[in-house]
Every structure is written in C-alpha cells, then in structure tokens.
Structure 1
Amino acid sequence: MELLTTGQLARELGVSRGAVVKWAREGKIQPELSTPGGHHRWKLDDVRAQLRRLREDGGG
C-alpha cells in the first residue's frame, strides 16, 4: 500500500494541491492517515472512489 503526500495525490488526480486541501477541509475526501504534524497521507484508489461516490451523489 503506497501512501501519497497531498502534492503527489494532486499530481495523480491532475488538480492543484489547493483543491485537494479544500476538499479535505470540506470533508469531501478523507485521508488514510494524518501525521502527528497534521500532514495527510492518501491512498489514490480510495480517494478516486470517494470522489466517484461524491459525483454520483450529486455533491461534486
């Protein structure tokens, strides 16, 4: 299981880092874990599934 930084996730999704931060702050996506320093780590497939569900529910 490879965990990505927020910047790496943004590159994989083709969006800005700021967009990922905003989605997380709004509760649209959830990180796999957060470090003690408050940095998020992400699983790409999980985030893609979260975004897909969000679109299907009309929230994206």
Structure 2
Amino acid sequence: MSENEELVPTGTAAQRIGVHRGTLVRWWQRGLVAPALITPGGQARWDVDNLKRQLRDLREEGSG
C-alpha cells in the first residue's frame, strides 16, 4: 500500500479514477484488476495508487 494512501471502498476508488462504480466492479469480476484487500464480509478495499498502476499495466499490455 502506498505510504500516503488509505484503503478505500469501491465507490470511492471508482470516483478517484474517474469511472462509475459498476465499471470498476465489472473490471474486478473479469479479473482485470484486483483490490488490495477483501474484508471478511466480501467488501473490496482499494489502494488507489496500486489500482492506477494495474490500469496502466493493462494499457501497456494492450498496446504492445
């Protein structure tokens, strides 16, 4: 986890990267991105910096 970044719920993570919550959930369900933590209740918690890195890596894979 990033030093200055807390783990945030899915809706907050989606907002911070500029997509709808449902879009982030679909990406997660398809295995394109992974949360930093899944709570015992099944809720995802995201490190936004790590999520941005995952998306950047996906774009690079797709363009190569």
Give TM class, smaller chain. Answer: over 0.9
Deviation at 1:49, TM superposition (A): 0.3
Deviation at 1:15, TM superposition (A): 0.5
* Number of residues of Structure 1 aligned to a counterpart in Structure 2: 59
SS at match of 1:41: strand
Please give the root-mean-square deviation of Cα atoms over the aligned residues, in Å. 1.2
Distance (Å, rounded) in 2 between the aligned partners of 1:40 and 1:58: 26
Distance (Å, rounded) in 2 between the aligned partners of 1:18 and 1:39: 14
TM, length-normalised to structure 2: 0.87
Deviation at 1:38, TM superposition (A): 0.6
- In the alignment, does 2:56 pair up with 1:52? yes
The residue number in structure 1 matching 2:11 is 7
Moved over 4 A (4+): none
Structure richer in strand, relative to its length: 2
Distance (Å, rounded) in 1 between the aligned partners of 2:31 and 2:45: 15
Specify every segment of 5 or more residues in structure 1 that has no aligned partner in the other structure, as ranges.
none
Q: Which of 34, 56, 63 pairs up with 1:30? A: 34
